[in-house]
Amino acid sequence: MNLLDRFRKPKPSARGDQKSQPAVIPALSYSWLISGRLAIGPMPRSESHWRQLEEAGFRSRFSCCYSEEEICSPPEHWLQGRVSLPDHRRQERLRPERLREALDLAAEILATQPPTYLHCMAGIERSPLLASGLIARERKIHLLEALDTVRLCHPRAMPIYGDLDVLEAVLKES
């Protein structure tokens, strides 16, 4: 078999007995930032992802996504919060008042309904930014120390540097 043959789709047999296999949805990968209270990761993309989170004890979520990015909504009985924040695609400029609103609402959900699942589309930019702010505020530590904590638990975290500047200014106000 040559290299090209490895990438060709198999031809159905003459008998037509080739059955289509259902798509396998991998488990949702998330990271605990505050044990039993706050976890972070990508957007759940299927009912099985929401079931996985529910089986792990989650009953609340906070989304940094725009509503049009949502693929699959959580169960209706979950406590939900959302403040849409821009990512590297720059849907809009990150405004301090929007980030402050996200911090306040996420902190309220976390205080009333832990454990909370915090997510954005990929769990790389927006949700780590917000998580860093939540941890800095709650522990009364510097933003960079909070970011180190997030990155230690969730190595994929790469908030946009300019957004960290906005977050630092918001945290100094509070």
Question: Does residue 15 form part of some domain?
Answer: no
Cβ-based burial of 127 (10 A; exposed 0-12, middle 13-18, buried ≥19): buried
Question: Does residue 141 form part of some domain?
Answer: yes
Residue 7 has pLDDT above 60, yes or no: no
Question: Does residue 155 form part of some domain?
Answer: yes
115-168: pLDDT as tens digits: 999 999 999 999 999 999 999 999 999 999 999 999 999 999 999 999 999 999
Question: Does residue 105 form part of some domain?
Answer: yes
Residue 129 to residue 141: CA distance in whole angstroms? 15
pTM for the whole structure: 0.82
Question: Does residue 2 form part of some domain?
Answer: no
Structural domain of residue 124, as residue ranges?
28-173
The enclosing domain of 148 has a CATH number of 3.90.190.10
pLDDT value of position 174: 77
Q: Tally the domains of the chain.
A: 1
Where is 160: in which H helix or E strand?
none
Q: Is the dihedral of CA 173, 133, 89, 58 positive or negative?
A: negative
pLDDT value of position 137: 95
Residue 14 has pLDDT above 60, yes or no: no
pLDDT value of position 22: 54
61-99: pLDDT as tens digits: 999 998 888 888 888 899 999 999 988 887 678 899 999
